Amino acid sequence: MGGLGEVHALLVWQTHALLAPRRAHRLPRRIFDAVERPTAFPATVLVSAAPGHLTLLAVGQVLQQSLELAVILAALRKATDGERLMLRLGAECGLRRLEIAKVHSRDVMRDLVGWSLVVVGKGDKQRIVPIGDDLALLIRSAHGYCFPGRWSRHVESSYIGRRLSTLLGDGWTAHSLRHRYATTTYAATRDPLLVSKLLGHASVETTQRYIAMPDDRLRAAVEATRLAA
């Protein structure tokens, strides 16, 4: 909870800064409860706290992004070196639990642009995910499987899931990291096809269920439908 406490003041400031001009006292109590007890409110709850109200949705998304980052940073602070790598592979690469378990030092490759990770996904299908220099170095330094198993080549996906759920806390899982990756990469690229390829989805329709639409896109849609005064 120490890491979450460090961002508590920021969350309160963001909430009041956004809502002060908009009669914050009319907001559902749930939003302010989320500021006080962030781990009790997963991202989906925050976004759906006030359906149909763009102002409230904006607040939910600000809180969602801040809470996700706070939860991940708090987990990183108390994690072991191996657990930090698990967290980063989920948050920075969008990997599934089994994909994290199977990461091997030989899966890192370099091209003219930078480092990438060859991910073996569902059905043994491969995809290429760009990664940063420091993450590439960490994976390569394993000289084998990053998470070797006691009885097999690598650990089970259930082991990865348990470790990440314990680190992140109630309501947050390895899949939460994958959803965050989908949303942040979409916000940066606005390209659902690209995000779909990075996630290893068979269709863009599947990817769309992962993406939380950025509020500025929603606001632009509303502005586009306004009738001229």
pLDDT digits (tens, 9 = 90+) for 52-62: 443 444 445 55
Residue span of the structural domain in which 133 resides: 79-208
Phi-psi group of 144: left, alpha or beta (phi > 0 → left; psi -120 to 50 → alpha; rest → beta) = left
Q: What's the CATH code of the domain at 147?
A: 1.10.443.10
Whether residue 33 is contained in a domain is answered as: yes
Q: Are residues 25 and 134 in the same domain?
A: no
Establish if 179 belongs to a structural domain.
Answer: yes
Q: What are the backbone angles phi and psi of residue 102, rounded to the nearest 5°?
A: -95, 0
Burial 16-40 (b: 16+ CB within 10 A, else e): eebbeeeeeeebeeebeebbeebbe
Residues 85 and 71 in one domain: no
Global confidence as pTM: 0.68
6 and 63: one domain? yes
Count of structural domains, the chain: 2
Separation of first and last alpha carbons in the chain:
50
In angstroms, the Cα distances linking 20 to 12, 36, 176 are: 12, 18, 31
- Residues 191-225: pLDDT tens digits? 888 888 888 877 777 677 666 655 555 556 556 55
% of the chain at pLDDT higher than 90? 36
Sole residue written with tokens 């939910």: 60
| Same domain flag for 60 and 137 | no
226, part of any domain: no
Shared domain for 73 and 91, answered yes or no, is no
Q: How far apart are CA 196 and CA 26, in angstroms?
A: 39
CA–CA separation, 189 and 49 (whole Å): 27
pLDDT-derived band at 157 (thresholds 50, 70, 90) equals very high
Answer yes or no: do 21 and 60 share one domain: yes
155-to-58, 86, 174 alpha-carbon distances in Å = 40, 12, 15
From 26, 56, 77, the end of a domain falls on 77
Q: Are residues 12 and 65 in the same domain?
A: yes
